[in-house]
Amino acid sequence: MSLFNLKNKSILITGSSRGIGKSIAHQCALHGANVIISSRKLDACEKTANEINNEVGNEVAFPIAANISDESQLDLLVESTRKKLGKIDVLICNAATNPFMGSMLDMPSEKFDKVMNNNIKSNQVLCNLVLPEMIDRNDGVIIIISSIAAIKGSPILGAYNISKAADVMIVKNIAAEFGNKNIRANSIAPGLIKTNFAKALWESPDILKAVLSTTPMQRIGEPNEIAGVAVMLASDAGNYINGQTIVVDGGTTIS
């Protein structure tokens, strides 16, 4: 059996109707998993679920809408996932927000609070909701999509960087506390990836030029290049990786 086999695994993925989350859901389904497609808009979730089911040739993707800014909706998301799939073997926290680009001096408090709530608190809440069943089962995987913003300073993405650094610590804490229950928690830190979420960055000639000038591979990444790492971490291939952050950036942070 392949180390990357996800057959009979039930995976909840936030922010999975498009971009990196969609690619992760797609690849997990292709490797045998049942996946929950979740984002704010049900129609977007349904569209992505249908695309995946049509390609796989079986009903393996299921849409559940939820707004990560609302804790009651996170409760309902986890409850609905259990009703649909029976369990949650893998939680992948991908949904995030970045409503402001510019100096931290100019960032309104409400936007700062939104970043902290959506990018940190929602992930911690979701982890706490799924951990009890993972502890009881003595098995579970948690993956948070962080960013190289967690390990680099920025003059225009200050709050986002702070939030992504906190996500790195969430998985370290979970690994330290629950590793003895066979729970593996890791984060993935993408560089600049060609998604709608990062469009303001890669569509800016100046920003793109700056990124490519320090990226040995001389290109930005594609969503499937993050999905491959997620499949590895969710499967037996990642069984002895715990509390780590895997950087996927074409070498941007090493040059």
- Which pLDDT score is estimated for 206? 85
Q: What's the pLDDT band for 49 if we cut at 50, 70, 90?
A: very high
- Which pLDDT score is estimated for 128? 98
Here the contacts of 109-113 (C-beta below 8 Å, separation 24 or greater) are: 111/159, 112/159
Beta bridge partners of 142: 91, 185
User: Once rounded to an integer, what is the mean pLDDT over residues 192-200?
Assistant: 81
Per the structure block, which two tokens stand in for 195?
A: 């998604």
10-254 belongs to which CATH class? alpha beta
- Which pLDDT score is estimated for 207? 85
CB atoms within 10 A of CB 73: 18
Non-local (6+) Cβ contacts of 57 within 8 A are: none
Q: What's the pLDDT band for 197 if we cut at 50, 70, 90?
A: confident
Q: What's the pLDDT band for 9 if we cut at 50, 70, 90?
A: very high
- Which pLDDT score is estimated for 201? 73
> Alpha-carbon distance 241 to 174, whole Å?
13
pLDDT tens, residue by residue, 96-154: 999 999 999 999 999 999 999 999 999 999 999 999 999 999 999 999 999 999 999 99
Say which residue, 226 or 201, is predicted with more confidence: 226
Active-site residues, by number, are 160
Is a pLDDT exceeding 90 seen at residue 202? no
At 91, phi and psi to the nearest 5? -110, 125
Per the structure block, which two tokens stand in for 90?
A: 């893998």
Is a pLDDT exceeding 80 seen at residue 91? yes
Specify the pTM.
0.95
Percentage with pLDDT > 70 across the chain: 99
User: Once rounded to an integer, what is the mean pLDDT over residues 72-85?
Assistant: 98
Cα–Cα distance list, 93 to 62, 187, 216 (Å)? 17, 9, 29
Segments making up each domain of the chain, as ranges: 10-254
Q: What's the pLDDT band for 200 if we cut at 50, 70, 90?
A: confident
Residue closest to 164 by CA, chosen among 198, 115, 131: 115
